[in-house]
Structure 1
Amino acid sequence: MLAAFAKEESQPGPKLLIAAEPDRMRDSLHLLLKTARGIHIVGLADDSSVALRMVSEHRPALVLLDTNLLGEEMPTVLKKVKAKESQSRCLVLTDTFEQQREAGSAGADAALVKGFSIEKLFQTIEELLQDGQSRSRVRRSASGERIGQDFFTTDR
């Protein structure tokens, strides 16, 4: 399957992998996150096998995992990501609260139900990276506001 790369591997900042089926949401996330200061998108994976290969290859600080990723079920993929790269933080984007609970049980570091705000996404990414090995600060290019506290919430 397709694996697209946003920037060269030599770019500074913590590495982020977006693993989601090709659709408008993934394209929007990619456009939004590639403008963020302090992160480096190492690639886009459109199925679970590509995502797992890219985790091994790039050792990202953060994996953004959509529950609609083609291939294996999200809990299985999440466990395999953690087994391959235990230092990687995993942020799962879910369609339902049940999937959110499932993601937490499977080892997600955070899970957001779709419909979250841009601010909530950036806050969660920033806190996951601060909590992780990279200790980097990620801010939205324009403002970088911080809101909320709970990683397992939605803004709805």
Structure 2
Amino acid sequence: MIEVMIADDQELMRDSLHILLSTKADIHICSLVKNGKEVLAQIPETKPDVILMDIRMPELDGVTCTKLVKEAYPEIKIIVLTTFDDDEYIYDALKYGASSYLLKGVSLEELYQAIQTVQNGGAIIHPNVAVKAMKMFSEMANSTLEPETPEGIKTLSKTEWKILQQVGNGLSNREIADKLCFSEGTVRNYISVILDKLSLRDRTQLAIWAVQNHKLVNKEDQK
């Protein structure tokens, strides 16, 4: 059973999501809250696995709340669910550890699949948002600022560089497995090791790092 918290300042949205998601046998809505402060207050009691997080909420917005939740409870997965696709929100939400960024127009099945995906360690970004995100990260990668280089980068193997390159290209674990002739479980294990070496929190941050450091990633992969 996946415990899901719904955080949205609109009662109609909270209730609608509650009713729809409750039709899924493996989903339990453990809490309905209307702002970021209530999210933080309810977590110790309700222990959600996944939080559906609205962006624009009073008292404490979804972006700041995402940051605070991931700092205190890194195991909780956060799906940003919003009507807004502003660049600022995309970058900050992903930077602070959101596993997915979806627009509120998604279908029930899309949202249900997103919940299952993030619970299993994956990430989903709405196509319209993904285009903006990739453009933004590419611009950052081409900027004159030197990205931070983790000490563990020196210990990455050739295979780990190959997998890192494919993550940066936007491939899923299954696609990487097919491309490199590995099992999906092997790819997951490699990614866990890479995350540890680069001191990154999750696959989303790994993808961002790979795009920001695309020149280094591509160079190492060719050795």
**How would you bin the TM-score normalised by the shorter chain?**
0.7 to 0.9
Q: Distance in 2 between matches of 1:35 and 1:154?
A: 26
Deviation track 1:18-72 (CA, whole Å, cap 9, x = no partner) reads 1111332221101111121112211101122111011122221101111132221
Secondary structure at 1:97's aligned position in 2? coil
* Deviations, residues 87-131 of structure 1 (Å, cap 9, x unaligned): 110001122222333321221010102211222111111111122
Q: Cα deviation per residue 1:4-31 (whole Å; 9 max; x = unaligned)?
A: xxxxxxxxx1211111113322211011
In structure 2, distance between residues paired with 1:34 and 1:154: 26
Structure-2 residue corresponding to 1:135: none
2:69 match:
81
Q: Could you say which residue in structure 2 is the equivalent of 1:102?
A: 92
Query: Partner of 1:51 in structure 2?
Result: 39
Unmatched 5+ stretches in structure 2: 130-223
RMSD after superposition: 2.1
Deviation at 1:154, TM superposition (A): 4.8
| Partner Cα distance (2:118, 2:7) in 1 | 17
**Which structure has the highest helix share of the two?**
2
Q: Which has the higher contact order (CA 8 A, sep 6+)?
A: 1
Runs of 4+, deviation exceeding 4 Å: none
Alignment: residue pair count: 127
C-alpha separation in 2, matches of 1:121 and 1:101: 21
Q: Kindly indicate which of the two structures has a greater share of residues assigned to strand.
A: 1
User: What TM-score results when the alignment is normalised by the length of structure 2?
Assistant: 0.52
